[in-house]
A and B are shown apart, each in its own frame.
Chain A
Amino acid sequence: MNELRMSLREARLNITFEGLNGDFVEPVPFNLSDAELKALARNAIVTGGVPGIAVSRRRRDTVDLSTFVVDRFPASGPHRENRVFVRPLTPFG
C-alpha cells in the first residue's frame, strides 16, 4: 500500500476491475457522490492511473463502471484514513 498524505475530508480510493485491484495515486474527497467517484475511477483506469490495473488501449472505450458499487469506510481503529472502494456487484454465492 503506497503512502498517501491526506486530510480528514479525504480518502484512499481503491478500485477492483476485472479481477485486478489497486489504489488511485491521489487522495480523493470523501464526500464525492457515488457517480463522481465511479467517473473518477473509470478515468483513472483508462489513463493508467491505478497501479495494478492495466487495460489495453483498444479496450479503454469499453471500460464501464456504471453497475459498480461504492463502499465507504470512515477511518477507525488501525485504519487511520478514510477508505472508498469502487467494486463490482457481488450478487452470487
Chain B
Amino acid sequence: MSEQQQQQRRVVIVGVGALGSHLALFARNLPARLTLVDGDRVERKNVLSQFHTKMALGRNKAQALQQALQGLYEVRVDAVPHRLVPDNAATLLGAADVLVDCVDNAPTRMLMQEFARAHGKACLHGALSADGEYARIMWDAAFTIDQGGDGQATCEDGEHLPFIVRAAAQMAATLQQFLRTGTQVSCHLHAAGMIEIATADAVG
C-alpha cells in the first residue's frame, strides 16, 4: 500500500469522552484520516478525566477536540457533532476503513458491531470498568458487549485519569499496529499489567 493510500484510510472514532478524546490525541500522527463523532457537549465535570478544557465548556465534544488538535498540533481531523443512531449509521460509518468504539452505552456499541459485521469493516472496541482500573481493548471478533452498569459511579472525578490515559495510549498503539501490519491484537488492561487475549494475523 502506498503512503498516499495509507493517508487516505479513514478511521472513525465514535465517542470522544474519557477514552476517545485521549485516543484522538495519541492517534493524531497515524497514517490515516480521523473522524470524530460525538453528540454530547463538554461539561465541567468532563475536564477532570477527558482531553477537553475549560475553554471548550458548552461546546460539542467532537468539534471542540477538532479545534484543539488543529490549534495545538496543526492536525486536521473531521468532526461530526451528532450522536450515532441507526438512521445515520450508513452516512457516518459507511466510508470508514476502521471503526473505533469508545462509547459508554450498549445500544451504540451494538449498532457499531452490527454495522462492522454486516459490511466487513475492522472495528476496535475500548471499554472501561466503573472503577476505572480495568479496560478491554478488543477487536470485534473477540469482543462481547457488556449489558448493565446503569447507575454505577463513573470515573468522572479524575481519580483514574492515569489509567484512562494508559488505556487510550494502548488503543492508539493497537490501532497503529493494525494500520501498519493488518494484525489485530486484543487485550485486557488492568492496573497491574496487560494480558493478550487474541491475535488475528493480517488478512491477504
Residues of A within 8 A of B (CB): 14, 16, 18-21, 52, 67, 69, 71, 73, 77-79, 85, 87-93
Contact = CB atoms under 8 A, between A and B. Distances in A.
B196 to A, nearest CB: 9
Contacts of B36: none
B146 A69 contact: yes
Nearest to B154: A92
Interface in B174-200: 188, 190-193, 195, 197-199
Contacts of A91: 104-106, 127, 130, 146, 148-150, 152
Nearest to A72: B144
8 contacts: A19-B163, A87-B136, A87-B188, A89-B146, A90-B134, A91-B106, A91-B149, A93-B126
A12 to B, nearest CB: 11
Nearest to B191: A19
Given A52-B192, A71-B144, 4 more contacts: A19-B191, A21-B195, A90-B127, A91-B127
Contacts of A18: 131, 133
Contacts of A90: 127-129, 134-136, 146
Nearest to A92: B128
Contacts of A92: 18, 104, 127-130, 149, 154-155
Interface residues of B, number: 40
B190 A89 contact: no
B102 interface: yes
A90 B104 CA distance: 9
Nearest to A21: B190
Nearest to B163: A19
A21 B149 contact: no
Contacts of B154: 92
A77 B184 CA distance: 14
A88 B152 CA distance: 12
A73 B197 contact: yes
Contacts of A67: 148
A93 B18 contact: yes
With a 10 A CB-CB cut-off, give which of A19, A89, A90 has the most chain B CB atoms: A90
Contacts of A16: 134, 188, 190
Contacts of B192: 19-21, 52
A90 B197 CA distance: 16
Contacts of B131: 18-19, 88
With a 10 A CB-CB cut-off, give which of B131, B135, B195 has the most chain A CB atoms: B195
Given A19-B134, A93-B19, A93-B102, A88 B188 contact: no
Which 3 pairs show the lowest CB-CB distances between chains A and B? Answer: A91-B149, A19-B133, A19-B191
